[in-house]
Chains A and B, each alone.
Chain A
């Protein structure tokens, strides 16, 4: 599969929402280790609202799906995570012309723009022990896949793996941003909770694309 319709993207994002909601306990624990423990709650609230939005709407272009997801996260979550994960889907869509399909190059462009905007607004950079430590390698992997002409399934699997590796590396980083910042050395040994969420998102996207590879235009299994 080298292209997905707007409806495919909608179905994929419902699968992402389901996966985040199912990961609430894991995210709560990851955040409690070096934060205040509210990340799981916030992400669940945001993606529950995303799920409702997507089940109630149909879309003609990919950017409307992604911007809708982003707006919903920003509005429903609050906190730093609401804006950061909202921008992950909204910021990339804002600068791009509406397209009726998602391809690897469009995905790479989207997440590259999102990453820049998250970094610009939040003020964090790679190595600060934030979600950027997972997102940045994932986007680099997407870019490489775009240049190599990889399929969507291959490109997103590569991005998910890169995000996971980035998350693992974040264990060895001392937090230089957010509420974990003042923990200093005490933040060592734990991954950043936002990086964990980022990996879950890319993994769920990769798995949906892989599972629906043969019937790229049919809706997601298990959608209600």
Chain B
């Protein structure tokens, strides 16, 4: 084992404790759960996100001004239980309703749905937006089966901003759904990550191979291919992403180049360089380009590219102030 951890079963809890050691002035743990809430929730629609831990900064660090008001962690790669979600939601609900934003996985759906029913039974208004941006997970006609990966960043950004400007629950949900509908992502990996406490990586690739379309838990992708250069790999991925949803000529895009855990900053910048170039060549106007670890899978070596097509209203919300531990605002203005 090469991880610098303590007892494997305590990894999720100790990660949260570490987050609070750094950001405890603004956030506080929700008693009896692996959830974190804003210390002083604003009078607005409460945005609540969550899911399995082990993908940091997802979802733990998707909290902040212009982002989620509370986040709820499960164990490594396992959805949080309904009671934790209910507690997290109640910690930040201010009578304007609750919007759940999470990735489209069966475990998350089951637990968040039970939590929503419990909250509704107590008189709270709850709506849901599921992120399903991974074009590799299922063909377009089965888009509801797609997984949520790094493109969830754009959905969180829009949901948070829409809530911050004071819109009502239904409007916030509609805008976040629009953002989700206009976001497409794809990942690639050359080596898998290992869940703390287990000996084997979640998947093993032969030397010199990469998996195109790899999921965040090591789920298989669209095809296994020989390792290629950064430029060749980016070209393939951009083709697959744009083939799934092309952008209209007047549509600007936000682009995220995301590291999956063990990819160096240099690699990500090389990938960003090519991504920007091929999109430019395709005539797409890039409104913002983000690079970094926004959604990881332990020490998976790989990256994902997400493309988010803007409308004028979404652009305004994207440019509105918003801040997390890993994001301080748009890089291009």
Which residues of A come within 8 Å of B, CB atoms?
Answer: 28, 32, 36-38, 41-42, 74-84, 121-124, 177-179, 181-184, 186
The yes or no answer to B80 lying at the interface (CB within 8 A) is: yes
A-B CB contacts (within 8 Å), total count: 91
Interface segment among B63-71, B218-226, B320-328: the answer is: B218-226
The interface residues of chain A, by DSSP majority, are classed as helix
In whole angstroms, what is the CA distance A81 to B110 when docked? 9
Q: Which residues of A contact B52 (CB under 8 A)?
A: 78-79
Contact of B105 (CB < 8 Å), options: A42, A75, A179: A179
Q: Which residues of B contact A79 (CB under 8 A)?
A: 52, 74-75, 78-79, 107, 111
Known A-B contacts A79-B107, A177-B106; A37 and B198 likewise in contact (beta carbons under 8 Å): yes
CB-nearest residue of chain B to A73: B81
Are A78's CB and B105's CB within 8 A? Answer: no
In whole angstroms, what is the CA distance A81 to B221 when docked? 24
Contact of A32 (CB < 8 Å), options: B76, B81, B198: B198
Known A-B contacts A78-B111, A182-B221, A186-B220; A36 and B106 likewise in contact (beta carbons under 8 Å): no
- The tally of residues in B whose CB lies under 8 Å from a CB in A reads 34
Are A38's CB and B75's CB within 8 A? Answer: yes
In whole angstroms, what is the CA distance A122 to B79 when docked? 14
CB-nearest residue of chain B to A37: B198
The yes or no answer to B42 lying at the interface (CB within 8 A) is: no
Contact of A76 (CB < 8 Å), options: B81, B105, B110: B81
Known A-B contacts A177-B106, A179-B105, A181-B145; A38 and B77 likewise in contact (beta carbons under 8 Å): yes
Mind listing 26 A-B residue pairs with CB under 8 Å?
A32-B200, A36-B77, A37-B195, A37-B200, A38-B75, A38-B77, A74-B83, A75-B82, A76-B81, A78-B81, A78-B84, A79-B107, A82-B78, A82-B79, A83-B107, A83-B110, A83-B111, A84-B110, A122-B106, A123-B106, A124-B106, A178-B106, A181-B219, A182-B221, A183-B219, A183-B220
Q: Which residues of A contact B75 (CB under 8 A)?
A: 38, 41-42, 78-79
Q: Which residues of A contact B79 (CB under 8 A)?
A: 78-80, 82
Known A-B contacts A37-B202, A42-B78, A121-B113; A182 and B107 likewise in contact (beta carbons under 8 Å): no
In whole angstroms, what is the CA distance A28 to B81 when docked? 20
Which residues of B come within 8 Å of A, CB atoms?
Answer: 9, 52, 74-84, 105-107, 110-111, 113-114, 136-137, 145, 195, 197-198, 200, 202, 215, 217-221
Q: Which residues of B contact A42 (CB under 8 A)?
A: 75, 78
